[in-house]
Amino acid sequence: MNQERLRYLLKRAGLSLFSLWVVATALFFAFRLLPGNPTTSVIAPQMSASARAELASQYGLNEPLSVQYLLYMKNLLTGNLGVSFQFNQPVSSLIVPKLINTLALTATAVILAYIIGSFVGAYLASRRDSSVDIYGTALVLTMYAAPVFWTGLLAIMVFSFRLDWLPSGGIHSVTFVADSFWGGYLSVDFLEHLVLPLIVTTLYFLSVPALTMRNNMIDTLDEDFIQLSRAAGLSDFSILYRHAARNALLPVLHYAAVSLGFAFGGSVVIETVFSWPGLGQMMFNATLAQDFPLAQSTFFLLAALIIFMNFLADALSVYVDPRTSATE
């Protein structure tokens, strides 16, 4: 890796850290100063006097705002996320299982979407302007235009309530008992619950890679080396998937990281539809329940994931296309 790339990456990393700081600061002020914020009842009414005093000192709620801010940053940096009001447990122990649930659904869906979407896009480009391309593109676009919560509702309506094939939500049946923590994720019961949300989310995320791939393939197929391969008598299949697709795929990688970040941000919607106990749902419920240590932490974690994914996207595109660092 040459000097220029390294400098570019360091610059992006610095910017990511700066963004993270901005988000943290924005959260601090959002949860303390905005009207109707959860801290108007920062200390849950049902708590004992000593617990209240302890919390107040932990968050420095009696201190001036500047001291509160420093304390907040210190807690954040040392990973001390506080105790949830609702569950009376350390926030970090609540968050980890939800994070795994979100990753199991969202990351799997995005990865699947990018693998399938790339093939779909390459195929549509190879049939450019044929009716397969026109209707295929229309279908891909429709899946993107349809609100994902609505397709989720339809899926539940048809496959859970009409046909009774699959469960309508949640991550396990009520009667299910996992023999171990990871055993819960490897069970048939979990997979049954995963199928419907996974298909709906994958179809939704399929459109971006499919259309990006289609655009890139159309550009690539016009290039000289493709004409040359054609002149050399290579088969269409070999030209399409071995030569053109390889070149067209690289920019798609960039979008994969961005999409994953976006998917984390949007996870609250899909997790609500399928009652999927993930990070997005937890963030939303915690905010509604005015459980502010939990809401703030889940929010920050989601933001950190998104910022990290954006950085990863930048890093990938420099690695893949050295021209990126030169243009910035």
Partner 1 sequence: MSSDTLPIELSQTRRATLRRYRRVASDVFAAFRAQRSAVLAAGVLGFFVFLGVFAPLIAPYDPNREFVIAGQAQRLLEPSLKHPFGTTALSRDVFSQWVYGSRVSLIIGLVSGLAVTAIGTTVGVVAGYYKGNVDLVLMRIVDIMYGVPATPFILLLVLFFGTSLTNIVLAMVFFLWRTMARVVRSETLSLAERPFVKAARATGASDVRIITVHILPNLLPLIMIETTIIIAFSITLEAGISFLGLGATDVTSWGTMLELTFSSGAIRSAWWWVLPPGISITLLVLAFFYLSRVVEQISSPDTGRFEL
Is residue 128 a contact residue for partner 1 (CB under 8 A)?
Answer: yes
DSSP state of 178: -
Task: Please provide the DSSP assignment of 28-55 as one string.
Answer: HHHHHHSTT-GGGG-S-TTS-HHHHHHH
Considering the complex, state which of residue 67 and residue 157 has its C-beta at the smaller distance from partner 1. 157
Least distance to partner 1, CB of residue 280, Å: 8
Which of residues 55, 81, 206, 273 is near partner 1 by CB under 8 A? 273
Least distance to partner 1, CB of residue 188, Å: 25
Give, as ranges, the residues between 276 and 315 that touch partner 1 (CB under 8 A): 280, 283-284, 287-288, 299, 302-303, 306-307, 310
3-state percent breakdown (helix, strand, coil) of the chain, nearest 5: 75, 0, 25
CB 256 within 8 A of CB 110: yes
CB 154 within 8 A of CB 147: no
Task: Please provide the DSSP assignment of 231-275 as one string.
Answer: HTT--HHIIIIIIIHHHHHHHHHHHHHHHHHHHHHHHHHHHHHTT
CA–CA dist 280, 197 (Å, integer) = 14
Which of residues 47, 100, 269, 289 is near partner 1 by CB under 8 A? 269
CB 107 within 8 A of CB 261: no
Which of residues 5, 9, 37, 51 is near partner 1 by CB under 8 A? 37
**Range in contact with partner 1 (rule: CB under 8 A) among 55-63, 155-163, 227-235, 240-248:** 155-163
Is residue 26 a contact residue for partner 1 (CB under 8 A)?
Answer: yes
Total residues contacting partner 1 by CB under 8 A comes to 56
Which of residues 142, 173, 235, 238 is near partner 1 by CB under 8 A? 142
Would you call 192 exposed, middle or buried from its count of C-beta atoms within 10 A (0-12, 13-18, 19+)? middle
Distance set, CA 172 to CA 165, 167, 186 (Å): 15, 9, 11
**Range in contact with partner 1 (rule: CB under 8 A) among 28-36, 44-52, 91-99, 227-235:** 28-36
Is residue 116 a contact residue for partner 1 (CB under 8 A)?
Answer: no
CA atoms within 13 A on the CB side of 198: 18
Considering the complex, state which of residue 31 and residue 190 has its C-beta at the smaller distance from partner 1. 31
Which of residues 101, 207, 297, 317 is near partner 1 by CB under 8 A? 207
The residue ranges that bind partner 1 (CB under 8 A) are: 15-16, 18-20, 22-23, 26, 30, 34-37, 128-129, 137-138, 141-142, 144-147, 149-151, 153-154, 156-157, 161, 207-208, 211, 214-215, 218, 261, 264-266, 268-269, 272-273, 280, 283-284, 287-288, 299, 302-303, 306-307, 310
